[in-house]
Amino acid sequence: MLHKVKEKGLASYFYIDSAGTAAYHVGEPANSKSQATANNHGVHLPSKARQFEYADFNEFDLILAMDAENYKNIKALDRNNRFEDKVKMMREFDPTPEDGNVPDPYYGGLQGFENVYQIINRSCDALLDELIPLIEDD
């Protein structure tokens, strides 16, 4: 998404970050296969792994979970359901979802990483198509 908003000259309208719901790999760059797949498409992945925290509910207008397990973990942090309208599944924006989850790329070999890239790419395109008119209305 960061790549897409920069490409369209819209980066000043967005604050985009990535976080997991577990503390795996905190501080590390994206997986080498994820980076290679993104690079093959001209996309740089600059983020470092971090864990999602309660403060993120106040920091972001939209929080996207990649799968049902992460969705459940995010929602569990929002015990009073104050932020339920902010939390969505990424594939809610996918024009061709097979199911609601972005699959784990690790179980699909290199093709699994390409498949996940394509899902995220088209989902981000659709999300951006929804958001651009909101920017233009401001």
Domain boundaries, the chain: 2-137
Would you mind telling me the total number of residues written for the chain in this entry? 138
Count of CB atoms within 10 A of residue 29's CB?
13
Round the average pLDDT of the chain to a whole number and report it: 93
Residue range 91-110: average pLDDT? 90
pLDDT tens, 21-77? 987 888 988 888 999 999 999 999 988 999 999 999 999 999 999 999 999 999 999
Sign of CA dihedral 111, 108, 99, 21: negative
Q: Could you give the CA distance from residue 63 to residue 26 in angstroms, rounded to a whole number?
A: 19
CATH number of 2-137: 3.40.50.2300
SS3 (DSSP) at 29: strand
